[in-house]
Copies of this chain bind each other. A is one copy, B any other.
Amino acid sequence: MRVLDRGEQLRKELDAARAAGRRVGLVPTMGALHEGHASLIRRSAAECDLTAVTVFVNPLQFGPSEDFATYPRDLEADVEVAGTAGAGVLFAPSAEEMYPQRPTVTVTVAGEDVMEGAARPGHFDGVATVVAKLFNLAGPCRAYFGEKDWQQLRVVRRLAADLSFPVEVVACPTVREDDGLALSSRNVRLSEEERRAATVLYRALSAGVAARLAGERDPQTVRRIMADTVAGEPLAALDYAEVLPDRLLVAARVGRVRLIDNTRVRV
């Protein structure tokens, strides 16, 4: 696996691959790779001829009071995970490489000022801007995103559709620990006690699913069941619980770590 930190290197490498008829798959990440990322990389490696993994903690998608500084970073381990999972290229640029000047032309996302968009103003603008840049630098046929960040996935799909990117956005299932906790790079920041409490997100989703399966059709009731589950966990503070026609979503703070999760509801 080639490890690159310059955009022009990445472009040159992938242009050469494309010129040789190879299909490029892209797995954009913020690093601190875990088994969830590895599953995306394996899927891309199975479906494409060359998989490029990007590792970039994008300052544009963090608010001033968020965890940009403390977001986990471990490039050496990332190289190991990406290579083992089948990546051919790992691109890990600096912030200066990605933003040599403060960008004045950016991508803006409307109509997503709920859930993460409400909790993190400007977050999806930052996500859409960096994903557009990565699409343009890598020129992938397919790009792989995890369902754990479900609203982000929805935004990336709209990005590709509304700006006509020639990229197929592929959604991959959330990978979970045995106790249901969705894998997240932020989980390493949980204390042992918080780690046990963090299962409350999955428990809330499961309670919501159970209610729907038991016939409960009122979204507000399902929402309250999820919220009550989180309220029952002293170390957790609910940010939001949402019920969409075919999906339940929850966000909560466990200690100083903000976690999100979601699940499809089949009723």
A227 to B22, CA, bound (A): 58
For chain A, residues 136 to 186, give those with C-beta under 8 angstroms from any C-beta of chain B: 136-137, 139, 155, 158-159, 161-166
A110 to B21, CA, bound (A): 39
Assess whether A166 is in contact with B11, with CB atoms less than 8 Å apart. yes
Closest to A137 in B: B164
Determine the chain B residues whose CB is within 8 A of the CB of A110 once the complex forms: 104-106
Is residue A7 contacting chain B, with contact meaning CB distance below 8 A? Answer: yes
Assess whether A103 is in contact with B162, with CB atoms less than 8 Å apart. yes
Find the residue from A108, A136, A139, A163 having the highest chain B CB count within 10 A: A163
Given A163-B132, A164-B7, A158:B109 Cβ within 8 A: no
A161 to B103, CA, bound (A): 9
Is residue A111 contacting chain B, with contact meaning CB distance below 8 A? Answer: yes
Assess whether A107 is in contact with B158, with CB atoms less than 8 Å apart. no
A84 to B161, CA, bound (A): 34
Given A139-B166, A164-B136, A166-B136, A159:B109 Cβ within 8 A: no
Is residue A226 contacting chain B, with contact meaning CB distance below 8 A? Answer: no
Closest to A128 in B: B105
Determine the chain B residues whose CB is within 8 A of the CB of A155 once the complex forms: 105
Residue from the list B106, B111, B139 in contact with A162, Cβ < 8 A: B106
Number of residues from A at the complex interface, CB < 8 A:
32
Assess whether A105 is in contact with B166, with CB atoms less than 8 Å apart. no
Is residue A51 contacting chain B, with contact meaning CB distance below 8 A? Answer: no
Is residue A233 contacting chain B, with contact meaning CB distance below 8 A? Answer: no
Assess whether B106 is in contact with A107, with CB atoms less than 8 Å apart. yes
Q: How far is the CB of A57 from chain B (nearest CB, A)?
A: 17
Residue from the list B107, B112, B137 in contact with A107, Cβ < 8 A: B107
A5 to B109, CA, bound (A): 27
A196 to B223, CA, bound (A): 69
For chain A, residues 19 to 43, give those with C-beta under 8 angstroms from any C-beta of chain B: 19, 21
Is residue A120 contacting chain B, with contact meaning CB distance below 8 A? Answer: no
Is residue A262 contacting chain B, with contact meaning CB distance below 8 A? Answer: no
Is residue A129 contacting chain B, with contact meaning CB distance below 8 A? Answer: yes
Determine the chain B residues whose CB is within 8 A of the CB of A163 once the complex forms: 103, 105-107, 129, 132-133, 136
Assess whether A111 is in contact with B104, with CB atoms less than 8 Å apart. yes
A166 to B10, CA, bound (A): 12
Name A residues whose Cβ lies closer than 8 Å to a Cβ of B: 7, 11, 19, 21, 101, 103-112, 128-129, 132-134, 136-137, 139, 155, 158-159, 161-166
Known: A7-B164, A104-B158, A134-B164. 5 other contacts (CB 8 A): A11-B166, A103-B162, A105-B159, A106-B162, A133-B163
